[in-house]
Amino acid sequence: METLEYFLPQVWFAILALFLFLYVMLDGFDLGVGILSLTSSDEERRGLLMTSLSNIWDANETWLVLMGGGLFGAFPLAYATILSALYIPILTMVFGFIFRGVAFEFRELSNRKFFWNIAFGAGSFTAALGQGFALGSVLKGIKVDETGHFIGSTWDWLSWQSVLVALTLIQGYVLIGSTYLVWKTEGALQETHYKTAKLAAWTTLIGAVLITITTPIFYVSVRSRLFDRPLVYVFAVIPLVGVWLIWQLLQSLNRKEERAPFVWTILLFLLTFIGLALVVFPYIIPTRITIYEAAADPSSLVVMIIFIGFLIPVMLFYNLYQYVVFRGKVTDGSYGE
Distance CA 281, CA 128 (A): 24
Contact 154, 180 (CB under 8 A): no
Residue at 332 is within a domain: no
pLDDT band at 334 (very low <50, low <70, confident <90, very high): low
pLDDT tens by residue, 177-231: 999 999 988 888 889 999 999 999 999 999 988 988 887 777 766 777 777 777 7
Q: Rounded to an integer, what distance in angstroms lies between the CA atom of residue 273 and that of residue 21? A: 7
Determine the average pLDDT of the residues in 251-269: 93
Backbone angles phi, psi at 150, to 5 degrees: -65, 130
Nearest to 334 by CA among 46, 41, 114: 46
Confidence (pTM)? 0.90
Confirm whether 48 is domain-assigned.
Answer: yes
C-beta separation of 45 from 189 below 8 A:
yes
Domain count within the chain: 1
In a domain, 334, yes or no: no
| DSSP one-letter string for 204-240 | HHHHHHHHHHHHHHH-HHHHHHHTSTTHHHHHHHHHH
Looking at the domain assignment, is residue 15 inside a domain? Answer: yes
- Give the distance between the most distant pair of CA atoms in the chain: 64
Residue 333 inside a domain? The answer is no
Domain-embedded: residue 276: yes
Question: pLDDT value at position 221?
Answer: 66
DSSP state at residue 144: B
Read off the pLDDT of residues 74-111 as tens digits, 9 standing for 90 and up. Answer: 999 999 999 888 999 999 999 999 988 888 888 877 77
Among residues 205, 214, 207, 279, the alpha carbon closest in space to that of 242 is found at: 205
Report residue 335's pLDDT band, with 50, 70 and 90 as the boundaries: very low
Confidence of residue 319 (pLDDT cuts 50, 70, 90): confident
Q: Domain for residue 161, yes or no?
A: yes
Q: Give 328's DSSP letter.
A: S
- More confident site: 112 or 84: 84
Interhelix angle 43-51/2-37, nearest 10 degrees: 160
Cis peptide leading into 230, omega within 30 of 0?
yes
Burial of 162 (0-12, 13-18, 19+ CB in 10 A): buried
Closest listed residue to residue 52, CA positions, set 181, 173, 170, 175: 181
Full domain range(s) for residue 149? 1-325
Q: How confident is the model at residue 332 (pLDDT cuts 50, 70, 90)?
A: low
* Residue 169 belongs to domain with CATH number: 1.20.1630.10
Phi-psi region at 141: left, alpha or beta (left = phi > 0; alpha = psi -120 to 50): left
Q: Is the residue at 268 inside a domain?
A: yes
138-149 residues labelled b (16+ CB within 10 A) or e (exposed): bbbbbebeeebe
